[in-house]
Amino acid sequence: MPDFDTVLHPEFLIPMVPRREVMTGHSVAIREGRITAILPRQEAQDADAGEHIDLPQCALMPGFINLHCHAAMSLLRGYADDVPLMTWLQRYIWPTESHFISEDFVRDGSDLAIADLLMSGTTTLADQYFFPEITAESVDRSGLRALLTFPVIDVETAWARDAESCINRGLALRDQYRDHDRIDVGFGPHSTYMVSEKTLSRVAMLAEELDASIQIHLHETREEVLTSVERSGLRPIDFLEQVGLLGPRTQCVHMTALGEQDIETVATHGAHVVHCPRSNLKLGSGICPVQKLLDRGINVALGTDGAASNNRLNMLGELQTASLIGKSQHGDAKAVDAWTALEMATLHGASALGLEEQLGSIEVGKSADLIALDLSGLQHLPRHNLASSLVYASSGNEVKWSWVAGKPLVTAGKLQTLDYTDLAARAGHWSEQLGAFRTTLES
C-alpha cells in the first residue's frame, strides 16, 4: 500500500497557518481524506503515492467557506434586480416562492448553485432554505461540505405550516444526518421580524441542548432596526440577547446597521458576524463595519447570500468587494487588507462553524478541503504580492481544482460530480416558467 493517496505539487502554497505566509518548493500529501504531510518538493516527488498531481503556476490553498447562501434561489438569478430589499421580498420573491417552491425547485436550484460554488472555490457551504432535506441530498451527491440551517418561520410555507412544524422537520433532518462526515444541520430562524419571541426562545433552548449552530438575518437594514424599536422597544440584537439566542453558536448575517452598543453586545456574547458585501450593496441595504468589528475581537466570516440578490456565488468576488468597501467605509487603505479578506473566507469561516480544528488552513491532520487557482493569466503578473493578486486581480474563474476530504470535485476546470449539460437544461426549463409568472406580477 502506498504511503499517500495523493500528493499535490503546486507552484505556490498558501497554508493560512502560519499566517500571511506564501511557500514555494513544497507539496501536500493526502491520505484517507486528510492532510498527512507538507513536504519539500524533492522529497514529495519521490514519495510512494497512488497519484501525483502537478499544479504548475497554481496556488494551493484551503477551500473557501461560504457562510451564508440560499442555494435553491439560484433559479431566481436576475429575476428581480435593482429594487430595495423589502420591495424585492414583498413584491417579487415571496409571491414567487409561494407559487413555485417544491422539492423539484429546490433540487434543481441547489444543484445549479453547487456547481457555481465549486467552480469558484467554495468547499464548505452554510445554507438556509425550504426543503433542506432536498438540498442535503444535492450536497451529499456532489461531495460538498455543508451546514444546513433549516428555516424557522411563523408563517405557513410549502415546506411547513408553522414554526413548530419547521422545528420538528428540522430536528428529524438533523437526526438523519447525525453521523454524516460532511453534512451538519442547525437552526435557521429567519429574523426577528419573521419569528416570534416564543419561537426564538424555543430555538435558543434547543440549540443549547443540542450544541447546534444558529444562523439568523440580523440588522440587515436601518429600517429593520427602527421598526423593531417601534414594535418592541428593543433593537433586534437586544431582542436576541433577551431571549438567550446570542452566543458562540450564533452566526449573525449582514449586520449593516450597527451602533457602538450593538458591537459591544456581539463581542460580549462571542457571536459571529457573516458579511455578505455584494448582496448588501446590490440591495442598497448598507455596509457592515468589518474592520471595527475585527478590531473589537469579533470573528467576521464571509458569505455570498443567494444568487437572487448577488448574482454570483463567487467567493473571490466577495473577498475583493469586502476589502475595497472596507477601506472606503473606514477611510483607511489598511482596513480589511488582502490577507484579512483571505482569512475571513477560510479561518474565520471555520471558527464560525466551530470547525477550526478541521478546516480553514493547510495543516497536518486537517481535512483535505483544498483548491488550486491558476495564476498564469497576465493579470497576475508580475507576482509582487500573491495575496494582493488573489484578492484584487482575480476574476473568479481562476479555480481549476477542488478537493473535499481528498475527493476531487473539480479537475482541470471540469466538474466531476455534476453535469453541465443537464444543469443548463433544467435551468432553461425554470427560466420559461418563472419568466411567465414574473410578467403577471408586473402587469
**Residue pLDDT, tens place only, 349-369:** 999 999 999 999 999 999 999
Q: Helix H segments across 123-185?
A: 132-142, 163-176
Q: Helix H segments across 70-213?
A: 85-87, 94-100, 103-119, 132-142, 163-176, 197-210
* Structure confidence by residue, pLDDT tens digits, 299-350: 999 999 999 999 999 999 999 999 999 999 999 999 999 999 999 999 999 9
Q: Say how far apart CA 58 and CA 221 lie, in whole Å.
A: 40
Three cell numbers, residue 394: 482575480
What residues contact 442, with CB distance under 8 A and at least 6 apart? none
In the structure, what pLDDT confidence band is assigned to residue 1 with cuts at 50, 70 and 90?
confident
pLDDT at 313: 97
Cβ count near 135 (within 10 Å): 30
**Closest C-alpha among 192, 341, 186 to residue 275:** 341
Is residue 83 over pLDDT 90?
Answer: no
Q: Which is it for the CA torsion 373, 376, 377, 383, positive or negative?
A: positive
How many alpha carbons lie under 13 Å from residue 238 in its C-beta half-sphere? 13
Q: Say how far apart CA 266 and CA 90 lie, in whole Å.
A: 29
* Structure confidence by residue, pLDDT tens digits, 109-126: 999 999 999 999 999 999
What is the share, in percent, of the chain residues with pLDDT greater than 90?
96
Q: Say how far apart CA 359 and CA 355 lie, in whole Å.
A: 6
* Structure confidence by residue, pLDDT tens digits, 253-302: 999 999 999 999 999 999 999 999 999 999 999 999 999 999 999 999 99
What is the share, in percent, of the chain residues with pLDDT greater than 70?
100
Is residue 396 over pLDDT 90?
Answer: no
In the structure, what pLDDT confidence band is assigned to residue 52 with cuts at 50, 70 and 90?
very high
Mean pLDDT of 87-113: 95
Domains in the chain (CATH in brackets) are 4-62+366-412 (2.30.40.10), 70-353 (3.20.20.140)
SS3 at position 196: coil
Burial (CB count within 10 angstroms: exposed 0-12, middle 13-18, buried 19+), residue 363:
middle
Is residue 442 over pLDDT 90?
Answer: no
Q: Say how far apart CA 34 and CA 12 lie, in whole Å.
A: 20
- C-beta of residue 241 within 8 angstroms of C-beta of residue 271: no
Q: Say how far apart CA 353 and CA 127 lie, in whole Å.
A: 12
Mean pLDDT of 127-152: 98
- C-beta of residue 273 within 8 angstroms of C-beta of residue 299: yes
**Closest C-alpha among 443, 441, 439, 434 to residue 109:** 434
How many alpha carbons lie under 13 Å from residue 200 in its C-beta half-sphere? 23
Q: Helix H segments across 337-443?
A: 338-344, 347-353, 386-388, 420-442
Report the range of poorest mean pLDDT among 76-90, 136-150, 328-342, 347-361: 76-90
